[in-house]
Amino acid sequence: MKRFLIIPVFILISLCASAQNQLYSVKNSEFSFFSKAPLEDIEARNTKASSIINTANRELVVRIPITQFQFSNKLMQQHFNENYMESEKFPNATFKGKINEMIDFSKSGVYEVSASGTLNIHGVDKERIIKGKLIVGENALNLDARFDVMLIDHKIDIPKLVFKKIAEKIAVSASINYIPYKK
């Protein structure tokens, strides 16, 4: 009788362990953006993003707190949050999508990937395909991506007085290091 109880418990433990390894969460991350404009270059960096990848279904979610972008000029940071991004009203940028390529997450390697999903910035959803590089290692994943964001796509208005200081297209870089998710 004990043997019949031990086998189901062992199977349940094995399934839970493998399901747990299917989720990876952020160990650390860095998002940065760069705006090249005729009068002024603007750049900022954010290390407070959160993200989860489910390797079983290749789903990916990223959340970036807007107020955590750090600028070298504090006045620029204040204008960014209050005038352009309206951070109190729209506190996060998000991406919810799925990695398009079939990846064997059990094999270490470097993979060129793309993710199809919804990018939400400033409260506006935009369907996007974002390309990047996924490095699969032992108990770790690293995702690097570079993409552009058009301000008009997310209804971010630039006043005419400063249109030569802020580019209409912003270059975004992302680097996310993941480790197995633990409750």
Mind listing the pLDDT tens digit for each residue in 105-152?
999 999 999 999 999 999 999 999 999 999 999 999 999 999 999 999
Give me the pLDDT at residue 162, please.
52
Q: Which of 161, 130, 171, 152 is nearest to 42 (CA)?
A: 171
Write down the CATH number for the domain with range 23-180.
2.40.128.110
Give me the pLDDT at residue 13, please.
39
Q: How far apart are CA 49 and CA 52, in angstroms?
A: 10
pLDDT score of 72 more than 80: yes
Q: Which of 97, 126, 127 is nearest to 113 (CA)?
A: 97
**Is residue 176 a contact partner of residue 51, using CB atoms and an 8 Å limit?**
yes
Q: How far apart are CA 35 and CA 38, in angstroms?
A: 10
Mind listing the pLDDT tens digit for each residue in 7-56?
443 443 333 444 446 999 999 999 999 988 766 788 999 999 999 999 99
